[in-house]
Amino acid sequence: MASVKILVEGYTNVDLENDDGKEKTCPNITLIQDKNLNIVVDPGVLESQNILVEALRKEGLTTEDIDIVFLTHSHIDHFRNIGMFKRAKTLEYFGLWDKNTVEDRKNQVTENVEVIETPGHSNDGLSLVVNTDQGKVVICGDVFWKENEPENDPYATDKTKLAESRKKILAIADWIIPGHGKMFKVKKS
């Protein structure tokens, strides 16, 4: 089984009343480890890249130890720090990049890590389904920003596809790591 850990807990104030009128956001930055493979999901935006360097250090890793950086979608708040991982390949909607070469995206990263398409928030939305000892964890970018929120995504490119992606994820997941909030358990009926 793979392991999943949120390295930096995300946040956003877009869905809250904000006195100064400035949007503040950072995605969940997540580490997946499976089969000697280290994957960072959505390296995000941070006040300082040292926050991520320190979070990796606490796991006994450096940026050079990361094999793949996975992007859930192409909004800059989810990928700005991708350049920190000079050795890593990048797995995104259009393929697996190694420096300036790209190959087609394979949906099975390892036997425990699978890529699924989850459009709606953006046209290039992807999620990772990770088999862990605690069940299936789905890392879904902004399909959900926080637990079952926002009900009405103001940035959604296609609200119908977003509703379908949410339904798909809820059917698969035991746990969800949303784009900007705490990991939550899916309530199964």
pLDDT one-digit tens code per residue, 51-102: 999 999 999 999 999 999 999 999 999 999 999 999 999 999 999 999 999 9
* Averaged pLDDT, 112-134: 98
Percent of all residues in the chain with a pLDDT value above 70, rounded to a whole number: 97
* Averaged pLDDT, 145-170: 95
Helix (H) or strand (E) holding 11: strand 11-12
Is this structure's pTM higher than 0.75? yes
Phi first, then psi, for residue 86 (nearest 5°) are: -65, -30
How confident is the model at residue 13, as a pLDDT? 85
How confident is the model at residue 15, as a pLDDT? 66
* Averaged pLDDT, 26-40: 97
Q: Which residue has the higher pLDDT, 22 or 36?
A: 36
Is the model's pLDDT at 22 over the cut of 90? Answer: no
> What domains appear along the chain, each with residue ranges and CATH number?
3-96+106-185 (3.60.15.10)
Q: What is the DSSP string of 141-185?
A: GGGSSBTTB-SS-TT-S-HHHHHHHHHHHHHH-SEEE-SSS--EE
* Averaged pLDDT, 32-56: 97
How confident is the model at residue 43, as a pLDDT? 98
Is the model's pLDDT at 17 over the cut of 80? Answer: no
How confident is the model at residue 21, as a pLDDT? 72
Q: Which residue has the higher pLDDT, 121 or 19?
A: 121
